[in-house]
Amino acid sequence: MSIVGKPTPGSQLLTPKDHALVLIDFQSQMAFATKSIDAVTLRTNAGLIARAAAGFKVPTVLTTVAAKSFSGPMFPEVTEPFPGQQLIDRTSMNTWEDANVVKALNGIGKDRLVFAGLWTSVCIVGPVLSALDQGYECYIVADACGDVSTEAHERAVARMVQAGARPMTALQYLLELQRDWARGDTYELTTGIAKTHGGAYGLGVIYAKTMFGAHEG
């Protein structure tokens, strides 16, 4: 019996309405010791997913740890797309052990969660493994996470993947939300984010539009 393909997206692909984004501990103190990714790339990728989520109206939780007493403020690239939104500050390293964070996520009511933050082996592993244990479907934006070493980051990602989490990248997250260039209402949003946060791909978009008036759709 042959399989008949259909022009239908797979169920594991993200859409703007089917998940919540959780951004964890993008703070100065955590970034100082992050070695698995350079700070410029980390800030760029964190800003990319924050702007993508805000633009596509993905419900997003922003949480910090000991912001006033130790770890410092959250990256402006992460907070600026969400003006006026409260940051949930915690004492727990594991975000999922903070009642206020879980209450916020329960209020959003999504069974699919996307995580990014610092450090991968502590502040991301904790909530991802905890959420998976409670039946949530979890994704990790791996290049918007970082750790004290490449080894620590990679082992943490492997541990979460082995438990059932799905890894992805920041640019992938943006383009997966858009997915079809015929979606004109978010076309300029997506290409605009790509121009400023999309690295070489963004430069290609700028070049094509400037030199030839090119359009993906």
pLDDT, tens digit, for every residue of 111-170?
A: 999 999 999 999 999 999 999 999 999 999 999 999 999 999 999 999 999 999 999 999
Chain centroid offset of residue 9 CA: 21
- Following DSSP, what letter does each residue of 9-51 receive, concatenated? --TTS--TTS-EEEEE--BHHHHHT--SS-HHHHHHHHHHHHH
pLDDT of 209 strictly over 70: yes
With a CB cutoff of 8 Å and minimum separation 6, the contacts of 127 are 22, 24, 94, 95, 96, 101, 115
Predicted TM-score (pTM) of the model is 0.94
Provide the terminal-to-terminal Cα distance of the chain, rounded to the nearest Å: 36
- As a whole number, mean pLDDT of residues 166-193 equals 96
Instruction: Give SS3 for 115.
Output: strand
pLDDT of 215 strictly over 70: no
Domain borders along the chain are 20-179, 180-217
Is residue 75 within 8 A of residue 43, CB to CB? The reply is yes
Q: Where are the alpha helices (DSSP H) in 164-214?
A: 170-178, 187-197, 199-212
pLDDT of 183 strictly over 80: yes
- As a whole number, mean pLDDT of residues 13-28 equals 97
For 20-179, the fitting CATH number among 1.10.3720.10, 1.10.490.10, 3.40.50.410, 3.40.50.850 is 3.40.50.850
What pLDDT is recorded for position 69? 84
* Structure tokens that stand for 133 in this block: 């244990």
pLDDT, tens digit, for every residue of 61-103?
A: 999 998 888 888 999 999 999 999 999 999 999 999 999 999 9
* Structure tokens that stand for 209 in this block: 């539009």
pLDDT of 216 strictly over 70: no
